[in-house]
Structure 1
Amino acid sequence: MNCKWKSKNNTSCNRHIKDGHTCVFHKNNKNKRENILFNHYIKKEKITYFLGFIFEEDFDIKETVNYKYKYLKFEDCTFYKKANFSNFSFERDIEFLNCKFLDETSFCNSDINSNFVMNGNYFNQNIINNKIFKNSDIKGQSFKLIGNSNLPRLDGISFSKETKFTLRDCHYIKSYNYIGKINYTIAEIQAEKIHDDKNIGYYIYYERKYNTINRDDFKSYGEYLISKVLNYVAREFMGYGEHLSKFFFYIICIISGFALIYMFIGITTLSGEMIKLDLKNINSYSISQIIKMYIEFWYFSVITFSTVGFGDMIINGIIGKILVCFEVFIGITIQSTWAALIIKRMFR
């Protein structure tokens, strides 16, 4: 009889078993003898691809993987107890894909001399403060941590000057923002060392996103509130300077919003013609007339926002003048910010 276990992708095990439905590698609630056989068969078969394995006892890679291997791959595995990858020299590529680490996990004091991938894994939230790579030397070409839940702290890790460190889609709840800041700061520093310009902006964004603003850091509540508001604006409207397309979109929205307001206030051209949308006689306008009128106001909004001011149109009323002043102030602020962001990117 063959093992009935199948992976999420319908990959079968097909190991021969005497009784039951699953082999010792994929069985839950193993007895003492089965756990002994579990480790014995790993060593005997010199397994390098651990697909769907259930580790119910402490796992120590030094004791278990004591044979030569071309690669190590752990996929859809569950570690119910301590997973110890410490004090080990990884000389070949290693991958952890969609694994669950439900107890302590450690890669401390290890030498990782090849490509390393952790993708889509889950870590027990109780170990999120542990420095799981403390005193580990990363010397491989690539070190990727992508889409991992509750990824613990990375401080204490050491990278070579050639290693490309990729940290993506590892998110944290509010109470663990400081860990997100630590991890993305480490990624940013390594990216700057190897001139990984493609990813620096991404790391800067998340490093600042997870930078918690605390009330205790400010003398007054007013200063704290202003800092919170400015941080929100910087994050949502400018992506901390890293999402220029988003920033440009909001500029268009601001200009278009003011143009819409100006339609109800009205402007006067140099020829003395007054352009204004009369709400009382709204039914007398055709759609093409409204669109044409809006284009005129959008043009006025653009030259106001950009502080060009050709003088061919003048806003009506005191409310209109206040709005124009407000849009000019916004325009000057945003233009200087835009220029600073472009220059920063050019220098980077």
Structure 2
Amino acid sequence: MRTYNFERVREDSYNELEKKKKEMKYINRLNFKIEKEQMYIRETSNKEYDNLYNIYDEEKLYNLRIHKKSIDKFSSEERNEKKLINLKVLYCEFKECRFENIEFIGCIFIGNVFLKCDFENVIFKDCKFYNEEDDINIFKDECKLREVRFNNSNIEKIKFENIGLKNVYIKESNLNGSIFNKCIMKEVIICDSDLSSIKILRPKHLDISFEDYYLSKFDEHTFIDKVDLKKKDKNEYIDICKVYKDISTKFEANRLSNIGGEYYYIAKLIEKNGLKGIAKLKSMIYWALCGYGERPTYALITSLEIVLVFAILYMITGLNIGGELVNYKSALRGNVDVASINKDFINSLYFSIVTFTTVGYGDITPVGFFSTLLSAIEMLLGVTMVGIWTATLSRKITK
């Protein structure tokens, strides 16, 4: 009983991402065409960012292509603070630029593209990255965000694609509809933010945590994909397991218990991969019996397997069916009456079912010590499995 189809949600999210990319290209082409005479390209061949691109408070950057520059605030000799206030950056392209030790306060970023840019020790406070016309911002092509903070900012519907985020702190901000595609996310901390409809697709590394004073908002469209688990050691499995358990807790805190259960199931699967010995065996049994409490069909399938196995064992150990003895020990030596196998198997299966369900009509009885012992074991397993299946099913239904 799955409540979350990861493949379908992932496909829908990719389609949404491609649609936004096409819209973004159209917006940029249109604006660049209209404002062609106002275009100003700042580009050098120096990759070490020797030349600064100075920006003033309340300046408006519109339709600029700024390449290979280190972005800085123009400052006088009397005042050397890197705080940019009420800046407007509209429909610009930044390529191989460096933003370092800057605080943006009350700034507006609309329809911009950031390619291979480095952001280090940057603060966005009370900033806006979205407008009602869906003119989104895109960070892609190996951009790096290190020691970046978003405080009380609207970073709605931003597209982050194939970038790295490390030591990023997001507090009281709106990420509604944002997409993170194939990103490396290390030590990303989220506090009291809106993650409705956020999509994290195919993360290369996933290390996010929540430090909520109130509650970060999730909805039924919030989607965090499964991380690639290739070549992980035990500690990494434990860390990733903790991430998905935190995600599960946040969904349940937002009264989305069904989805929260799916992420709990993923967390337990990841945890199983990092276990060894008896601990791993216990986890595998727990998975097979009921899917860690999230798959009632697993309990049903396991019950059917038990019934079938015991039906075969009864044919070997012996049953008394209406005064006729059924015992296929001789089949192990190759002496078997093929014509009677189907009939005897049906009778053995019937006896296995009534024994498993503890009904026991008495029309078929076990013969000998081993057959009696098997029936006792099956009754105990039946009582246990019926209870597990009922409890798991009830838990999923009540969610």
Q: With structure 1 as the length reference, what TM-score do the two structures score?
A: 0.70
Q: CA deviation at 1:265?
A: 2.0
In structure 2, C-alpha distance between the alignment counterparts of 1:227 and 1:153, rounded to whole Å? 27
Alignment partner for residue 301 of structure 2, among 249, 258, 261? 249
Residue 323 in structure 1 maps to residue 374 in structure 2: yes
Matched residue pairs, number?
A: 311
Q: CA deviation at 1:292?
A: 3.2
Q: Secondary structure at the residue paired with 2:245?
A: helix
Q: CA deviation at 1:178?
A: 3.9
In structure 2, C-alpha distance between the alignment counterparts of 1:166 and 1:284, rounded to whole Å? 58
Q: CA deviation at 1:71?
A: 4.3
> What residue number does 1:148 align with?
203
In structure 2, C-alpha distance between the alignment counterparts of 1:157 and 1:281, rounded to whole Å? 69
> What residue number does 2:160 align with?
96
- Percent of residue pairs identical: 18
> What residue number does 2:227 align with?
170
> What residue number does 1:203 align with?
263
Larger relative contact order (Cα-Cα within 8 Å, sequence gap ≥ 6) = 2
> What residue number does 1:19 align with?
none
> What residue number does 2:341 align with?
290
Residue 306 in structure 1 maps to residue 360 in structure 2: no
> What residue number does 2:249 align with?
189
My pick for the range that moved more, 192-201 or 66-75, is 66-75
Alignment partner for residue 32 of structure 1, among 29, 44, 49? 49
RMSD, matched Cα: 4.3
> What residue number does 1:3 align with?
none
In structure 2, C-alpha distance between the alignment counterparts of 1:44 and 1:34, rounded to whole Å? 22
- 2:115–2:141 contact (8 Å) kept in structure 1: yes
Task: Summarize deviations over 1:241-277 as a string: whole Å, max 9, x none.
Answer: 101122211111111111122222221113x112233
Q: How does 1:1-348 map to 2 (within 5 A)?
A: 30-32=47-49, 37-38=66-67, 43=89, 45-47=91-93, 53-55=115-117, 58=120, 60=122, 62=124, 70-74=134-138, 76-80=140-144, 82=146, 84=148, 86-87=150-151, 89-97=153-161, 99-101=162-164, 104-109=166-171, 111-112=173-174, 114-123=176-185, 127=186, 130=187, 132-134=188-190, 136-139=191-194, 141-157=196-212, 160=215, 163-164=218-219, 165-170=222-227, 173=232, 174-209=234-269, 229-270=281-322, 272-277=323-328, 278-279=330-331, 280=333, 282=335, 284-286=337-339, 289-348=340-399
- 1:133–1:157 contact (8 Å) kept in structure 2: no
Contiguous gaps of at least 5 residues in structure 1: 1-7, 17-23, 216-223
Q: What residue identity is the alignment partner of 1:138?
A: S
Aligned CA distance change for structure 1 residues 150 and 29 (closer, same or farther; 3 Å): farther
Q: Secondary structure at the residue paired with 1:327?
A: helix
- 1:43–1:66 contact (8 Å) kept in structure 2: no
- 2:123–2:151 contact (8 Å) kept in structure 1: no
In structure 2, C-alpha distance between the alignment counterparts of 1:323 and 1:252, rounded to whole Å? 16
Q: CA deviation at 1:312?
A: 1.0
Q: Secondary structure at the residue paired with 1:314?
A: strand
In structure 2, C-alpha distance between the alignment counterparts of 1:244 and 1:183, rounded to whole Å? 25
Q: What residue identity is the alignment partner of 1:188?
A: S
- 1:159–1:190 contact (8 Å) kept in structure 2: no
Q: Secondary structure at the residue paired with 2:206?
A: coil
- 2:111–2:137 contact (8 Å) kept in structure 1: yes
Q: Secondary structure at the residue paired with 1:236?
A: helix
Q: Secondary structure at the residue paired with 2:198?
A: strand
In structure 1, C-alpha distance between the alignment counterparts of 2:90 and 2:216, rounded to whole Å? 38
- 2:92–2:113 contact (8 Å) kept in structure 1: no
Q: CA deviation at 1:195?
A: 2.4
Name the structure with the higher strand share: 2
In structure 1, C-alpha distance between the alignment counterparts of 2:129 and 2:244, rounded to whole Å? 35
Q: CA deviation at 1:46?
A: 2.6
